[in-house]
A and B are shown apart, each in its own frame.
Chain A
Amino acid sequence: MNEKKIIELKNVAKSYDGEIILDHINLDVHEKEFMTLLGPSGCGKTTTLRIIAGFVTPDTGDVVFEGTKINDVPAYKRHVNTVFQKYALFPHLNVYENIAFALRLNKVSEEEIYNRVEEMLAMVNLRGFEKKDVNLLSGGQQQRVAIARALINKPKVLLLDEPLGALDLKLRKDMQNELKNIQRKTGITFIYVTHDQEEALSMSDTVVVMADGKIQQIGSPTDIYNEPENAFVADFIGESNIIDGIMLDDYKAKFSGQIFDCLDKGFNKNEAVDVVIRPEDVDVVSPEKGMLQGVVDSVTFKGVHYEIIVTINNFKWMIQSTDYVAPNQKIGLFIEPDAIHIMKKSEYSNMFGDYSSFSDELEALSDVEALEEEE
């Protein structure tokens, strides 16, 4: 990966009406990187993006672009373009004119405009749509126009603010691929904002997990998934069982009344820690073979696997298994040392990780709310 920094945020803070939106964050964006800002609504990710775009001025801290401080450069002079949430296409212009908009501002010759617009239309696969009224396009088509419009000026950095939020699932998957392709082909740095963790993991080079105006973790998708730094990240990325534990010694952790071998070290002796175990990393075995024993509360068929909720020491575990077990059956759990990930206690400890009140429907509901709040 190219190590040249293109954007640096240094100690940037922002608050509205006394409410802290961004709490002194530091972030480096490298050239040709596909970076995703991931977090629940209200975490400050969109504000970060808008600070880079120039729509929001930070209260303190600097925004540096290719080594130059650009705090006071207005949005229209920055070499940064944005794909807006819900696209913000100009309703009074057709597809061609929307894409040509930026070029028309700079007295570019008609021929060149034509060539470049056609190029962009080809790139987003919309040739032949020039005369169309943007209001009559489907969501996916509007999305492509928005991308073409933002790219035509050849920005150094493209900012994408939840660009796929309004699309249905199938189209979203297609567009993810297209975006990834475009990024690779053009070599433009993408900064992508989303609250969809799956999207973040599948597309990005670097994921920045944010919550409460702070950066929780920066890392590659695999790092983020496998080595979450705290309970928030662990819970937000994928499904996790987060259990209170004690680090007896290096490579020795105690939780659920048992002592387990693990691969983590560097904690104080007997330090209280959070233990993360991913549901798919737990093997279901017969009770006698299991390191832990429990009774199955419920079983849900999920297609690829079964989702099993088991109660052990009053903690509800979620386990994903391809083998069927019956409810009320007593089972044993087997956990490999490399399936155990130990984290320091944080402000998010004990907030997540128990599946006692889990239901798919509730999760879906909270997603909807998150979307509504964003608007």
Chain B
Amino acid sequence: MNKKSLLQKAVAAPHVMWAVLFIIAPLFFVVYYAFTDKDGNFTFDNIAELAQASYLEIFLRSLCFAFLATVICLIIAYPIAYFMTKASPKTQKILIMLVMLPQWLNFLIRTYSWMALLEDTGIINNLITAVGLDPVHMINTSGAVILGMVYNYLPYMIIPLHSVMSKIDSRLLEAASDLGCSHFKVITRVVFPLSMAGIISGVTMVFVPSISTFYISQKLGGGNFDLIGDTIERQFQTAYNYNLGASMSFVLMIIIMISMAVMSKYSGEDDGGVIV
């Protein structure tokens, strides 16, 4: 029996080996490069370099952009996820499909096509001028970068919110209105606290990619709003400063770990809460 159960566990061995080789080891290398110089000597210089005002500003800016994008996603997604639960199961299925469908197209090309929309002589401005209004400068602004983030990651907010909300027992909503809640109070007093798990997972799924993105800001921000992702990418692809890049990645990981820890404090443990 003992031998058998050992054998059963051994089935997981390939994965465990894989994880050690390709998850743990690479992270070890990030830490290794972050704390060594070009010749492989131990140093804190890379981390210290990040304390420069300019890099601090990049981190702060990335945090701000990602935070705003997350908040906007939440504000847009919450009502729509709620409305979706009110539709018939068949419509719900179709709506979810429609929410996820754009994700099947590569995000690079979708972001690129936003450029065509937002440019000063782009489609939106053509429409605006056709109506007789003054064109609005949109591309290469911080707003455009945040819009790109919101656009790309909105589905990752809608889906977990919807899946949690659709699991709320409809009798709870009835009970609330039975006890005197108006429609609005049903939402604030019952739906909102019960959808907290969805909010947490949606926020995570939007915040993490937003803070680390490196394409959206280049295209929609015109290279004027470098974020952490852009800076890391530049270290690896053009500046060959692996050590600095690794140290930035290291700090990014720490930031994300901290924010996740803060959020999971509010959510409690949920195992395997994957979407789709």
A residues near B (Cβ < 8 Å) are: 53-55, 74-77, 80-82, 84-86, 88-92, 101-102, 105-106, 149-150, 153
Of B1-9, B76-84, B150-158, B167-175, the one contacting chain A is B167-175
A88 and B179 contact, CB distance less than 8 A = no
B180 and A76 contact, CB distance less than 8 A = yes
B100 beta carbon closer than 8 Å to chain A: no
Of B174, B177, B180, B181, chain A has the most CB atoms within 10 Å of the CB of: B180
Nearest-neighbor residue (CB-CB) of A86 within chain B: B171
B90 to chain A, nearest CB (A): 13
B178 and A90 contact, CB distance less than 8 A = no
B175 and A90 contact, CB distance less than 8 A = yes
B182 and A76 contact, CB distance less than 8 A = yes
Q: With a CB–CB cut-off of 8 A, which chain A residues contact B182?
A: 74, 76
A81 and B171 contact, CB distance less than 8 A = no
Q: With a CB–CB cut-off of 8 A, which chain A residues contact B189?
A: 101, 105
A175 to chain B, nearest CB (A): 19
Given A90-B190, A92-B193, verify A76-B175 contact (CB < 8 Å).
no
B27 beta carbon closer than 8 Å to chain A: no
Q: With a CB–CB cut-off of 8 A, which chain B residues contact A88?
A: 169, 171-172, 174-175
Given A90-B190, A91-B194, A92-B194, verify A101-B179 contact (CB < 8 Å).
yes
B177 and A81 contact, CB distance less than 8 A = no
Q: With a CB–CB cut-off of 8 A, which chain B residues contact A150?
A: 178-179
Of A54, A89, A101, chain B has the most CB atoms within 10 Å of the CB of: A101
Q: With a CB–CB cut-off of 8 A, which chain A residues contact B194?
A: 90-92
B residues near A (Cβ < 8 Å) are: 169, 171-172, 174-182, 185, 189-190, 193-194, 196
CA distance A75 to B171 in the complex (A): 13
B174 and A76 contact, CB distance less than 8 A = no
B171 and A102 contact, CB distance less than 8 A = no
A76 and B190 contact, CB distance less than 8 A = no
B16 to chain A, nearest CB (A): 35
Q: With a CB–CB cut-off of 8 A, which chain A residues contact B181?
A: 76, 105
5 A-B pairs with CB atoms under 8 Å apart are A76-B179, A88-B174, A105-B179, A150-B178, A150-B179
A153 and B179 contact, CB distance less than 8 A = yes
Q: With a CB–CB cut-off of 8 A, which chain B residues contact A90?
A: 172, 175-176, 190, 194
B193 and A75 contact, CB distance less than 8 A = no
Q: With a CB–CB cut-off of 8 A, which chain A residues contact B180?
A: 76-77, 102, 105-106, 153
CA distance A77 to B180 in the complex (A): 6
6 further interface pairs, Cβ-Cβ under 8 Å (given A76-B178, A90-B176, A105-B179)? A55-B177, A74-B182, A77-B180, A86-B171, A88-B174, A149-B179
A354 to chain B, nearest CB (A): 40
Contact of A82 among B169, B178, B190, B193 (CB under 8 A): B178
Nearest-neighbor residue (CB-CB) of B185 within chain A: A105
CA distance A205 to B225 in the complex (A): 76
B177 and A74 contact, CB distance less than 8 A = yes
B186 to chain A, nearest CB (A): 8
CA distance A240 to B139 in the complex (A): 82
CA distance A105 to B169 in the complex (A): 21
CA distance A105 to B189 in the complex (A): 9
A84 and B179 contact, CB distance less than 8 A = no
Q: With a CB–CB cut-off of 8 A, which chain A residues contact B178?
A: 53-55, 75-76, 80-82, 150
CA distance A76 to B190 in the complex (A): 14
CA distance A153 to B196 in the complex (A): 28
B65 to chain A, nearest CB (A): 32
Q: With a CB–CB cut-off of 8 A, which chain B residues contact A76?
A: 177-182
